[in-house]
Amino acid sequence: MRGNYPVDPTANEVLRQSGFDEYFNEGAGPTPATRGQLVCEDRLDVDSKRAEARLAKKLIDFATNHQSVPSRLKCVYGHLVDCMTNTHEHASADAGTERWWASVFVDKERGCDCFTFIDLGVGIFQSIELNRRLKIMALFSITRPDIIRKIFRKEIPSSTGLSYRGRGLPSIYESLSLTHSISRLVIATNDVYGDVGPDRFVVLSKPLKGLLLYWEVNHDQD
Amino acid sequence: MIKTEDSIVHSVALEFTATPGPRFEAQGPWSGEEFRKRLLEPWFLDASSRGIKLVIDLDGGYGYAPSFLEEAFGGLARDCGVDKVLRTVAFKSDEEPLLCDRVAKYIRESAAMTA
């Protein structure tokens, strides 16, 4: 690992407490100040690019401090597994060739758990299946933010052609808008950034290669 | 497993795993496909042949990816018929009461195809 810690004191503190150091220094164990956990698929496992439920469990265990899992985090567990599956299936032309990372940060000041999932695959708009649909949608002047909205609302059919598939992103949206299990949802993929709750979407000047999903779960929902 | 005269209760967490995985076996361990093939279908066939209710206890685990549930229960309905599955299978969840309705919805929608 190379690079410097941020100069900004707040960003510096958040990074140091995020579990980032522990992730890169395996075996060092978390310090008392550690408030986060970072996981990625096991680099020693030949099947490591698959969905690994045990790693989702690791994040949930960190957030609950190994106590019983409250229902607000049960849906998060499912979202994490679905995100891993989506990376496995859609992040590259050949299934299972892209890696993913996931993390949780327990933000005591704001009273929430912050979950991040990221892969550096092709991103939603470059996925081969969606690309075909995008060409048709472009004819109807449907913007990229509109497409993201439609995906979350399950208004774009699954790329498999089977209506019972493609429930991953819509179920995260349901957790935000319907069951309120999560309190904030952010997506960044290719040249689109969206804060989904307030429906604030912007075009990124520097595109993100891949997909980033971030959501928060309030502690006071227990 | 809890047996009564007119029902049999099986627990996903106790009899399969507390950490359910993705939809298909090829996507990762503890998949919905594996659960359906190895446990759910035999449970279902046993219950339906005896004319009793199969109650699936969904509590005790870390949660479920929608794709796991769809593949397990929607997949069962695709194999055995929506009506027969809805008549035979019931769900129990004290921890996530909305989950039971969601699984029933997956069963009802299991056969639908997009254009």
Tell me whether residue B93 is in a domain: yes
Tell me whether residue B79 is in a domain: yes
Tell me whether residue B82 is in a domain: yes
Tell me whether residue B75 is in a domain: yes
Q: Pick the range with the lowest mean pLDDT from A48-52, A151-155, A167-171, B56-60.
A: A48-52
Smallest Cα distance from B2 to chain A, Å: 23
pLDDT in tens, A99-157: 888 999 988 888 899 999 998 888 888 776 666 666 677 677 778 888 888 888 888 76
Is the ipTM higher than 0.95? The answer is: no
Question: Does the beta-carbon distance from B22 to A85 stay under 8 Å?
Answer: yes
A48 near B CB under 8 A: no
Helix residue ranges, H only, chain A: 9-17, 20-24, 53-64, 71-90, 128-139, 144-152, 168-177
Domains recognised in chain A with CATH numbers: 35-221 (3.30.565.10)
Tell me whether residue B114 is in a domain: no
Question: Does the beta-carbon distance from B109 to A53 stay under 8 Å?
Answer: no
SS3 B52: coil
Question: Does the beta-carbon distance from A85 to B63 stay under 8 Å?
Answer: no
Interface of B with A in 60-89 (CB under 8 A): 61-68, 70, 74
Question: Does the beta-carbon distance from B109 to A164 stay under 8 Å?
Answer: yes
pLDDT in tens, A56-111: 898 999 888 766 678 889 999 999 999 998 887 776 666 666 788 899 998 888 88
Smallest Cα distance from B6 to chain A, Å: 30
Quote the domain boundaries for residue B48.
2-108
Tell me whether residue B95 is in a domain: yes
Name the residue among B33, B34, B56 with its Cα closest to residue B44: B56
Smallest Cα distance from B64 to chain A, Å: 5
A164 near B CB under 8 A: yes
User: Per-residue confidence at B93, pLDDT binned at 50, 70, 90?
Assistant: very high
Helix residue ranges, H only, chain B: 12-15, 32-35, 41-50, 66-69, 75-80, 82-88, 97-108
Tell me whether residue B26 is in a domain: yes
Tell me whether residue B115 is in a domain: no
Whether the pLDDT of residue A35 is over 70: the answer is yes
As a whole number of angstroms, the longest Cα–Cα distance in chain B is: 45
Name the closest residue on chain B to residue A79, using Cα atoms. Answer: B65
Whether the pLDDT of residue A34 is over 60: the answer is yes
Distance CA B12, CA A94 (A): 32
Per-residue tokens: A32: 């008392």
As a whole number, the mean pLDDT across chain A is 81
Question: How many domains are there within chain B?
Answer: 1
**b or e along B66-92 (b: 16 or more beta carbons within 10 Å of the residue's beta carbon)?**
bbbbbbbbbbbbbebebeebeebbebe
Whether the pLDDT of residue B85 is over 90: the answer is yes
